[in-house]
Amino acid sequence: MTNYTVLIANGEFPNNEYCNDILSNNPEIICVDTDQKLIEKLDIQPKIILGDLDTAKINKVNNNVRVIQLDNQNKTDLEKAFEFCLEEKINEIVVLGATGQADDHNLANILIANKYSKKLNIELISNYFRIMFINERKTIKAKKNMRVSMISLDTNNKISSSGLQYELNHESLDTFTKGISNKCMENEFTISAEKELILFTEIV
């Protein structure tokens, strides 16, 4: 993903080289109600802080940072951040800190990202996986023997692949476990799907 904006959410921040490489590329950063201690620990300068601001300590924010308070309690801060990106025409998004030890939040954030992936190119980074969302066709750079899993919320979703150990040829994932623990056999692989597909690629 190039020319991307990083959303830093208020979950567990991933601790891996892939995440560090993302931040080292000096992307534009939007903190989604992020704790000030994390901002200081990462030594980052966000362009924007937004959310209901019940976590962010805005009295400590640099004057050059745009602070946007969004009070809608019917949506999570991550939903409000995606809505903001749509309004600002920010289309390439990497989300750090959307997963962690709270399993309910993990699942909710993945499903929220899946919903907005129809209009935005979103990638979530956890400690272990890149989580992407396939809408039609995508080729992903990879490493040989890297673990690849996919989940479709629609059991009638027709999926095809190339470059994986267990290929799909216009097939449906009729159970939620059928697409789990596949393996990449090349330096890249391609997935196409008729409907939204959640893709997990191992960070190695």
Q: Is the pLDDT of residue 197 over 90?
A: yes
Distance CA 83, CA 178 (A): 33
Tens-digit pLDDT profile for residues 129-163: 999 999 989 999 999 999 999 999 999 999 999 99
Rounded average pLDDT over 61-68: 77
Rounded average pLDDT over 53-66: 66
Q: What is the DSSP letter of 123?
A: E
Segments of 48-179 assigned E as strands: 48-51, 66-69, 92-96, 121-125, 129-141, 147-151, 159-162
Over its C-alpha atoms, the chain yields an Rg (Å, rounded) of 17
Rounded average pLDDT over 125-129: 93
Rounded average pLDDT over 106-122: 94
Task: Give the pLDDT confidence score for residue 41 in this predicted structure.
Answer: 83
| DSSP β-bridge partners for residue 68 | 50
b or e along 132-148 (b: 16 or more beta carbons within 10 Å of the residue's beta carbon)?
A: bbbbeebebebeeebbb
Q: Is the pLDDT of residue 43 over 80?
A: yes
| Closest alpha carbon to 150 in 55, 167, 59 | 167
Q: Which amino acid, residue 72?
A: N
Q: Is the pLDDT of residue 77 over 90?
A: no
Task: Give the pLDDT confidence score for residue 167 in this predicted structure.
Answer: 96
**Positive/negative CA dihedral, 40, 67, 75, 109:** negative
Task: Give the pLDDT confidence score for residue 131 in this predicted structure.
Answer: 96
pTM comes to 0.90
